[in-house]
Amino acid sequence: MSNAERVDFRRDLHQHPEPAWCEYYTTARIVDALETRGIDRILVGPEILQSGRRGVPSTSTQQEWKEQALEAGAREDIVSRLTDGQTGAMAVIENGPGPTVALRVDIDGLPITEDTTDEHLPSTAGFRSTHEGYMHACGHDGHATIGIGVLDQLLQSEFDGTVKIIFQPGEEQIVGAEPIVHAGIIDDVDYLYATHLGLDHPTGTIVAGISEFLAVSQFETSFYGSAAHAGAHPESGENAVQALAAAVQNLYAIPRHSEGATRVNVGTVSGGTATNIIPESATISGEIRGETTQLMESTETQAHQIMESAARMHDCEMEIDTMGRAPSAESDSELIETVATVAGETAQVESVVRRDSLGGSEDATHMMRHVQQNGGKATYVAIGTDHPGGHHTPRFDIDEQSLEIGVAVLADAITKTLHEP
């Protein structure tokens, strides 16, 4: 794939952003590209995911996205294999005995309406999102493109061992990596690379190892009371909104921890139907983060106790659903040095940063921790890219020159790892 072809591929994906477990078009385009390359094995959807996924949308929502994908030209024979929204794919190159190295890239979009002004390149160049209300506002279209590009480079290389390129769905909701881990497809991985464009680093900068990922747990809690006439018989109702309010107020009162940073946030609240009815149901969604998995879990335990107590205080029932979850993780020094070495020898790389902190969460940490617990090594590589808008904003876009840089650095790092395990 030439640089021009990479740009075309990325722009095509940019036009068709899809949320978690609805990446039908994206998966079909990736698999279609893989099939033209003589890959040893291509695993699709159900073949890379274990059952019990979190955050699976309704059948009607899946069907809507599936129909859009087919209308946009996705191959029906591929889409039909993605049953119940089991999207994503993995390409495997097998060259005899040797280490197994994996590269993980993510492929999903975000529920953000893309900018329409003349200052926004996708708008003026004709590749703005065709799915109003959704866009690639975090560079995952570029990540998928880099995955294909790295594969092309490795197919032209000589090495002993196995390479797996994982095109992961559902990162934005923190739901895609965990079922891939549980499916067992990375049990044999000795070295894992994950990557991301940008992260506030400019084009020409490579960060060889992102660390200090915050562990995270996202939740949705529903409170159930009983309705009553708010004027005539208010005492006969159990007010779910009161339970919600008590929960929100006290969630923010959870004390910080001396052993490290913790975060609690309630992002959405809803409840009630009318001003003259005691609300019989109310819902909050939020998240808990911690500098370590242990800190997150400790804060999570307190949060659950608070929500349960708030429900009891107002004679309500409640139900907590975990919507997404990821542990903390650290990048390994051995692979950081490998990336730093090859990046320093790459012509278009102007700056090499060995380590940086994310300050947020990422579910690639499920894969990193799994490989490390099995005795392997992992690192999370940032590929700098100039972008006019911040991540997760309507004007986000990437500098397409960073695609070439990302392919070169990651392909060379993987090749070096295969040659010098």
pTM for this prediction? 0.94
CATH number at residue 283: 3.30.70.360
Residues 234 and 321 in one domain: yes
Residues 33 and 157 in one domain: yes
Give the three-state DSSP class for 131. Answer: coil
Residue whose token pair is 């560079």 = 139
Residues 226 and 371 in one domain: no
Give the three-state DSSP class for 262. Answer: strand
Residues 8 and 121 in one domain: yes
Residues 114 and 167 in one domain: yes
Q: Which residues of the chain have pLDDT under 70?
A: 421
Instruction: State the DSSP code for 336.
Output: H
Residues 315 and 334 in one domain: no
Residues 141 and 26 in one domain: yes
What pLDDT score was predicted for residue 350? 97
**Token duo for residue 26:** 């994206």
Provide the domain count of the chain: 2
Residues 159 and 18 in one domain: yes
**Token duo for residue 118:** 């003349």
What pLDDT score was predicted for residue 111? 96
What pLDDT score was predicted for residue 421? 67
Residue 188 burial (C-beta neighbours within 10 Å; 0-12, 13-18, 19+): middle
Residue whose token pair is 């804060």 = 299
Residues 317 and 372 in one domain: no
Q: Select from 187, 177, 188, 210 the least CA-distant residue to 327.
A: 177
Please compute Rg for the chain using Cα positions: 23
**Token duo for residue 64:** 């809507």
Choose the final residue of a domain: 274, 296, 326: 326
Helix-, strand-, coil-residue percentages of the chain, each rounded to 5: 35, 25, 40
What pLDDT score was predicted for residue 282? 98
What pLDDT score was predicted for residue 61? 98
Domain containing 318 equals 215-326
CATH number at residue 63: 3.40.630.10
Q: What are phi and psi of 382, to 5 degrees?
A: -95, 125
Check: CB of residue 142 under 8 Å from CB of residue 10. Answer: yes
CA–CA dist 224, 246 (Å, integer) = 14
Residues 132 and 146 in one domain: yes
What pLDDT score was predicted for residue 267? 95
Choose the final residue of a domain: 295, 326, 357: 326
Q: Each residue of 399-408: pLDDT tens digit?
A: 999 999 999 9
Residue whose token pair is 């700098």 = 384
CA–CA dist 238, 279 (Å, integer) = 8
Give the three-state DSSP class for 407. Answer: helix
Q: Each residue of 78-125: pLDDT tens digit?
A: 999 999 999 999 999 999 999 999 999 999 999 999 999 999 999 999
Q: Select from 56, 175, 41, 60 the least CA-distant residue to 107.
A: 175
Can you name the residues that pair with 271 across neighbouring β-strands? 282
Residues 308 and 343 in one domain: no
Residues 144 and 276 in one domain: no
CB within 8 Å of 54: residues ≥ 6 apart: 173, 175, 178, 322, 323, 324, 325
Choose the final residue of a domain: 326, 357, 373: 326
Check: CB of residue 164 under 8 Å from CB of residue 91. Answer: yes
CA–CA dist 31, 13 (Å, integer) = 13
Check: CB of residue 365 under 8 Å from CB of residue 326. Answer: yes
* b (16+ CB within 10 A) / e for 247-263: bbebbeebeebeeeebb
CB within 8 Å of 275: residues ≥ 6 apart: 230
Angle at 159 between CA 158 and CA 162, to 5 degrees: 130
Q: Select from 36, 323, 38 the least CA-distant residue to 155.
A: 38
**Dihedral sign computed on CA atoms, order 191, 383, 176, 302:** positive
